[in-house]
Amino acid sequence: MQLSKTLEKAIAISKAIAKEHIHAQYAAPHLLKALLHDDVELDPLLAKAEIDMYYLADWADVRIESLPKSPGPKTRSRRRMILKLFWMMLII
């Protein structure tokens, strides 16, 4: 299936938003936020339809913040703990 360049851009932005918020996958709020991004250029269409873009952006932000964070890899936290112990040993 061929996607439009605008849709491809919106999907890429939504994936970046999900990654930024430590979500395992992107969902509808990420995609909505991406569609409102300046690079997608949907603003003129929404303004013409008299849709409150700021309300939509706030709605998306609230939903994004309510999504569960994905668990990070255990090796990263283990590495942090080892580094903390190392620095504590250097200070003492």
Q: CA-CA distances (angstroms) from residue 68 to 21, 22, 28?
A: 9, 9, 14
Predicted local confidence at residue 46, as pLDDT: 87
- Please work out, in degrees rounded to the nearest 5, the angle formed at the alpha carbon of residue 78 by the alpha carbons of 73 and 79: 100
What residue numbers bound the domain in which 10 lies? 5-91
Predicted local confidence at residue 15, as pLDDT: 95
Identify the CA nearest to 21 among candidates 81, 65, 85. 65
The parts of the chain modelled with pLDDT lower than 50 are: 75
Q: How many structural domains compose the chain?
A: 1
Predicted local confidence at residue 74, as pLDDT: 52
Tokens of 89: 């040993």
Which stretch of DSSP H or E encloses residue 22? none
Predicted local confidence at residue 76, as pLDDT: 56
Predicted local confidence at residue 75, as pLDDT: 47
Tokens of 16: 């970046």
Beta-strand runs (E) in 1-81: none
